[in-house]
A and B are shown apart, each in its own frame.
Chain A
Amino acid sequence: MSWRHLLRHEKQEAQLDRELNFHIEEKVADLRRSGLSEEEARRKVRQEFGDIDRIKEEYRDARGTRWLDELAQDVRYAWRSLAKSPGFTAAALVALILGIGANTAIFSVIDAVLLRPLAFREPQRLMSVWKTGHTEHNSRRLFTLSEVERLRSDGAFASLGSFEPVSIRVLYRGEPEIAAGARISPDLITTLDVSPILGRGFYSGETNVALLSRAYWQRQFGSDPAIVGRTIDVEMSSVYGGTQGDRAVVTIVGVLPGELRLRPLDQADIWIAPEKDQDPPERRAATTFVVARLGPQGQPRTVQDLPNSRVDSLGWQINLVPVTETIMGSVRPLLLLLWAAAALVLGIACANLANLHLVRWSHRARELAIRAALGASGSRLARQLLVEGVLLALAGGACGLAAAYFCLKLLDLTRGLTGTVELKLDAPVLIYTACLSIFTDCCLAWHPLGQRARSDCKMPLESGVIRDGRQHAAGS
């Protein structure tokens, strides 16, 4: 409902007043001319005219704006009645804030971790590859570079990329800094199929180039779009120790999207495709992670399902775990459990509120009966209860959202559960909260409504009158 609509509504009401007044004044003038006194004329016109308020109501009915006036009345009435019982209102609000706040916070985590799409194209075809022995199929060991080379030459995957977490000393504008990094094979970008948000990815075979994580780019370079093409001095050393640091001058070619979420790659600030290793590969420790993209033909779970694989002859086995499972698998049951717990909290809150409502309505049964006797229709009374519930639930929803916001800040600090996803109250979360509020409200409103429908409307009034009568008789 726009303000213009409301203004037009006001204007039309004023015009209706003017029109009716004109009629009354003309009639009074006519009657005066026929010899009646002003007072008599007015009385006669009033008699003849009938109830002006009824005309107005019929007019609003005809224009279909009556509900607007009644809604305004209902809201005012609900506000007064809630303000009159602050204890109830406070208890209800606290319950709603707890219920809706907890649900919104948990849902926003679920939204971020389970529902938001991954940054990789067709993530269901991506597999984390682990080395495993012939006997223990589920162990997860890393590869040496020479083993990665053998996997690559095996040709069982559509493409295959590898990375190794490294610690990087960055020399940029003089001051050296330590950053988390990943030494990656250039084909990792095409395997993951991520599109940089700035610049480009790596060309195949390209060396001495680097990509920055979005967070690092924002933190360290103030989101400077001119970063592409600059060179930085880096010194890489394996986080697992052992190897000597490699010095290199690398060119920044792009910025990665946020939320890559594939551990431990998501911890890396700088991805570097270094120069081809000069060391004999055998000397390297098993420190390399492998990610493979499957061809479109299917989803093998073990290496035996892979066509044309000669991995079997290598003396070790591989273990394939879908990347989606690596990212979400471990937290999914936990999150769903938390969600269920939060839903339970809301359910309990609803039950408590419904009971509070019921107590309140049993006190107000007389009030309702009197209003029904004065001509309020059943649907009007029902709507008032509904408006009261909506008002309460909206207030609870708004406060719950604020509570959820603080919960998220708290969760952001702990980080353990969610990794590096960004928690935010975005559109899906807001929609969820709105639906939750409406659902809660319906539970709240319909419960007393059902109660009212079952009980005889007149009874509370009669019993009240009799009781008052007796009291009156006893008092006199």
Chain B
Amino acid sequence: MALLKSDLPQGTLDLLILKTLALGPMHGYAIAQRLQQISRDVVQVPGGSLYPALHRLEKRKLVAAEWGNTGTGREAKFYRLTRKGRAEMQASAASWQRLSEAVALIMRQADGGVL
């Protein structure tokens, strides 16, 4: 089942974009493709969510953008992680990790019927 943006917890999309950009600069379409591939088609980000998120990140100077040539010779806007973006990514990745572990812990406990 595909996850839409509304199914993603608040702020997760930003983290996913930053994490993807940590691999290297890429344009918006490539980010969407990469997210879909890595998540095995679970995360499908529509353009209507992706670009506003990218522009927000650009405004907060977490990513920087610049026009460049794609492999196929077309012009596209490439985004790359800034130093501030990398720090932000690491911080929110850590807190996401903690949160998901905590959630998993609680789910396990509930399953075990300890209560």
Contacts and interface: CB of A to CB of B under 8 A. Distances in A.
A19 B48 contact: no
A22 B75 contact: yes
9 contacts: A22-B76, A23-B28, A23-B51, A51-B48, A55-B51, A59-B51, A62-B55, A62-B59, A63-B55
Given A59-B52, A62-B52, A20 B75 contact: no
Task: Name B's interface SS.
Answer: helix
Contact of A48 (B27, B47, B74): B47
Contacts of A50: 46-49
A26 B29 contact: yes
Query: What are the 6 tightest A-B residue pairs by CB atom distance, in nearest-first order?
Result: A50-B48, A58-B52, A49-B47, A26-B29, A23-B29, A62-B55
Contact of B74 (A22, A24, A62): A22
Nearest to B32: A23
Contacts of A63: 55, 59
A15 interface: yes
A219 interface: no
Interface residues of A, number: 20
A15 B77 contact: yes
A19 B76 contact: yes
Contacts of B27: 22-23
B47 A18 contact: no
B56 interface: yes
Contacts of A9: none
Interface string B49-88: 1011001100100000001000000111100000000000
A49 B46 contact: yes
Interface of B: 27-29, 32, 46-49, 51-52, 55-56, 59, 67, 74-77
A90 B76 CA distance: 53
Residue from the set A18, A19, A48, A58 with the largest chain B CB neighbour count within 10 Å: A19
Interface of A: 15, 18-20, 22-24, 26-27, 48-52, 54-55, 58-59, 62-63
Contacts of B49: 50
Contacts of B75: 18, 22
A469 B73 CA distance: 60
Contacts of A20: 47, 51
Contacts of A15: 67, 77
A23 B47 contact: yes
Residue from the set A26, A51, A54, A63 with the largest chain B CB neighbour count within 10 Å: A26
A63 to B, nearest CB: 7
Given A48-B46, A49-B48, A54-B48, A22 B55 contact: no
B77 A19 contact: yes
Contacts of A48: 46-47
Nearest to A51: B48
A58 B51 CA distance: 9
A24 B51 CA distance: 12
B86 to A, nearest CB: 21
Contacts of A55: 47-48, 51-52
Contact of A58 (B55, B74, B77): B55
Given A26-B29, A27-B29, A49-B46, A19 B59 contact: no
A342 B48 CA distance: 57
Contacts of A49: 46-48
Nearest to A24: B47
Contacts of A22: 27-29, 74-77
Given A22-B28, A48-B46, 8 more contacts: A15-B67, A22-B74, A23-B28, A26-B29, A55-B47, A55-B48, A58-B52, A62-B59
Contacts of A27: 29
A27 to B, nearest CB: 7
B56 A62 contact: yes
A48 to B, nearest CB: 5
A230 B76 CA distance: 79
A27 B48 CA distance: 14
Contacts of A19: 28, 51, 76-77
B62 to A, nearest CB: 13
Contacts of B28: 19, 22-23
A55 B48 CA distance: 6
Nearest to A61: B52
Nearest to B30: A26
B55 A59 contact: yes
A294 B59 CA distance: 67
B39 to A, nearest CB: 16
Contacts of B76: 19, 22
Contacts of A62: 52, 55-56, 59
Nearest to A19: B77
B35 to A, nearest CB: 14
A49 B67 CA distance: 22
A158 to B, nearest CB: 68
A171 B10 CA distance: 94
Nearest to A57: B52
A19 B65 CA distance: 11
A48 B28 CA distance: 15
A418 to B, nearest CB: 58
B115 to A, nearest CB: 43
A22 to B, nearest CB: 5
